[in-house]
A = this chain, B = another copy of it.
Amino acid sequence: MNICVGSLMKALIFDLDGTLVDTVYGHALSWQRALAEVGIHTDTARLHRRIGMAGELLMEESAREVGKQLSKAKMKAADKRHAELFARLVPQPRPLCGAVLMLQQLRKSRIAHGIATSGKRESIQPAIAALRLSDSAIIVDGSSGKQAKPAPDLFIQCQERLGASEKDCFVVGDATWDILAARRASILAIGLLSGGYGEDELYRAGAFRVYRDPAALFQSISQLGIPL
């Protein structure tokens, strides 16, 4: 009996930071310093759990937590400083374990896949380069005018560009924000521990499965109903 390929999963939508590239810790420290310069002092672990949400939300929440408000001008300054500090701290983003090989294999096997990230195009360029993607790779970023995570917009746009219905896609992400945005987009989510969240945090948020890193995900890809 042949397997009906139509019944299998068809596409993967990847988050970028902490999912494909090892940048979450650098972002957490850069945000901490950028926010300190505008008078908002926050423990790194608090910022760690905010990486992946829109930068504006991250700043607002960090300010509110210490009973402060940031003006639009200060937010803009902190956003710019974060980008500067991050580029200095992580000049060459490192692909996470197994990420490059996984993307190569997906391309080779013609499994539809794309990247959807809250980051702006110019700031994600070094990470995209490190992943050695083809020129035709589908990348939806925060410059698209769509609302960043935890809004579902970026994932929905990526899913539409991949030409797959939401029930045939998985979102792969390292943060609860990815899982929240995926669920709002009616797409199943897979968690990776490579961004530093605990396994239970991701399962409790609603991840269908949680793997250690891209390498472990790829090893189990048949169990996800993806025909390699």
User: Contacts A22-B43, A29-B25: A196 and B96 contacting too (C-beta < 8 A)?
Assistant: no
Tell me the minimal C-beta distance from A67 to chain B in angstroms. Answer: 13
Chain B proximity of A93: nearest CB distance (Å):
11
Contact A213 B29 (CB under 8 A): no
Q: Please state if B26 and A194 are interface contacts (CB–CB under 8 Å).
A: no
Taking beta carbons and an 8 Å cutoff, which residues of A are in contact with B?
A: 18, 22, 24-26, 28-29, 41, 43-45, 48, 89, 94, 96-97, 193-201, 204, 213
The number of times this chain is found in the oligomer is 2
Q: Contacts A25-B48, A29-B25 hold; do A43 and B194 have CB atoms under 8 A apart?
A: yes
Q: Is the CB of B43 within 8 A of A96?
A: yes
Known: A200-B198, A200-B200, A201-B198. Is A44-B22 also a contact (CB below 8 A)?
yes
Docked complex Cα distance between A192 and B52 (Å): 23
With a 10 A CB-CB cut-off, give which of A22, A94, A193, A196 has the most chain B CB atoms. A196
Closest to A204 in B: B200
Q: Are B196 and A199 in contact (CB under 8 A)?
A: no
The complex places the Cα of A198 from the Cα of B45 at a distance, in Å, of: 10
**Top 3 A-B residue pairs of the complex, sorted by shortest distance between their CB atoms:** A198-B198, A200-B200, A45-B196
Closest to A99 in B: B43
- Complex: A43 Cα to B94 Cα, angstroms: 9
Is the pair A26, B29 in contact by a Cβ cutoff of 8 Å?
yes
Given contacts A25-B28, A28-B25, A43 and B198 within 8 Å (CB-CB) = no
